[in-house]
Structure 1
């Protein structure tokens, strides 16, 4: 329990730092947006490239894990988007809700928990999570954002692909996979460079969350934020458990450790960049409330999951 507290306390502390520096006027709200852009455009791509390029491709591709994680995430994002649409939520907020229900914090919270719980498979799990999230779940969520902005049909798809190709984080994963598959030697100094950049992503992303909370009008957003929290912490891990069990039932082998890891990965609160992405549609307040609520509630749900799975 003390080890888990050692992981969660810095998360809350960094969110508090972000709130404090904006509340006291040390940073302006516009400064927080700049920090968010830095994380998306520089730090996160470096983190993804380093994580993938430094591993053999065989460590990334565990069929049973990938299938369970992908199917669990895909079913959750479609269910969440459909639920928000039929309950009368606007298109932009539907997209934000679907992303919040489906994109876990695999890097900043999931990886440390995996290191503590299943150290032998922590790095392959991180790589597989990044693969599914960046090539399947996140593009689908961004397609919802594009649709909310009026993109449709072929023109909308072209605009989505164009926007994705402009995002460095999206290009970092295939670049890392190419280096891994072709065994391209990368100078140690360059890997140290990308590692240092990637290490800056976690703290800044959490500070961005805290900074966006300052001065928010919480009235009118709490119910939707609560639904997002429930979708992320309860619905996604439940659906992932279902598909992990189905994968095993049809004869695709999955070790007990991998099955526990895929459920834990799905049970993480939403990723640190959730609020940053929501800035593009002007709903970072909703995203920040949902993220803070999910992060706080995950202190309980993750401890329960760890007791059950281990």
Structure 2
């Protein structure tokens, strides 16, 4: 149990630091946005590029892990979507709710957590999961929202908009560029390696502090209905992923444990970004992120203990 505390407490302590700094005014109202920009445009891309550039195809290509993560996310998304639509929710709002229930915080929490628990080897499953969450889940939600809004003349135009957005996403582009570099078989030049290392090492503290700053911001509007989404995220998604990764596919320990741990993470900030962009229920999404992050302190600790990590 002591080793579990050593892993979990520093991560949530950094989130708490950001929360306290915002609440006490030590960091201003724009701090979350600006630090988040550093993480998204410099820190995480450098880390993802460095990991993929130094990896081999045999290590990264894990079809069983891809299936476990993808099916776990999609199953929760579709089940939540059906559940919310039965409650007479509009497709746009139900899509954001479904994304909140299935969008794990693989970038800000998953990458540092896997690195602490599994060492350098843990970065690869965290990186793959981050790409899957953004490419598959986020894209699906955007398409559903566009259909619900009928803002485009056809699904074809909505899909093109999604593809264009993904092509500009540094979290997608950087690992792809790193994979191309790895195909050349050449090590990174010394100065470039040092530059990327400096930026990558700043990713974890900045990402977690930024998350704390975000959670400290008050949101206007109703947050009713947050608890069912939180329970789906913290209990249902890891349960589905466990069934796929362990009894069904019998994945190797590193990949099975990583899939389960990443599925059990709290809701990331992606759904909030969509809610803000489409001028929807940002207060509900913000409450889901806050409560699931706090709740994951208990569930993640319990999971690490049960897995013996």
Please say whether Structure 1 and Structure 2 have the same fold, judged by a TM-score greater than 0.5: yes
1:54-73 pair list within 5 angstroms: 54-73=54-73
> What does 1:31-42 align with in structure 2 at a 5 Å threshold?
31-42=31-42
- CA separation in 2, counterparts of 1:120 and 1:205? 18
* 1:296 matched residue in structure 2: 294
Cα distance, 1:92 vs. partner? 4.9
Q: What is the deviation of 1:245?
A: 4.8
Provide closer, same or farther for how the CA distance between residues 308 and 49 of structure 1 changes in structure 2, counting only shifts above 3 A.
Answer: same
TM-score normalised by L of structure 2 = 0.82
The count of residues paired between Structure 1 and Structure 2 equals 305
Please report how far the alpha carbon of residue 119 of structure 1 lies from its aligned counterpart in structure 2 after TM superposition: 4.8
Aligned residue for 1:29, secondary structure, equals coil
Find the counterpart in structure 1 of residue 260 from structure 2. Answer: 263
Q: Check the 8 A contact 2:219/2:286 in 1, yes or no.
A: no
Partner of 2:191: 189
Name 2:212's counterpart in structure 1.
210
Equivalent residue for 2:182? Answer: 180
Normalised TM-score (structure 1):
0.82
Matches within 5 A, 1:1-310: 1-115=1-115, 117-119=117-119, 121-147=121-147, 150-151=151-152, 152-214=154-216, 216-217=218-219, 220-221=222-223, 223-245=224-246, 247-248=248-249, 254-271=251-268, 275=272, 278-282=275-279, 283-310=281-308
Superposed CA RMSD in Å reads 3.0
Deviation at 1:59, TM superposition (A): 0.7
1:97-148 deviations in whole A, cap 9, x for unaligned? 3333223233554445545655585244234323433432333234345446
**Structure 1 unpaired stretches of 5+:** none
Residue deviations 1:199-258 (CA, integer Å, cap 9, x gap): 33333333333333446257731x43222221221111111122235643xxxx633453
**Maintained 8 Å contact 2:221/2:282:** no
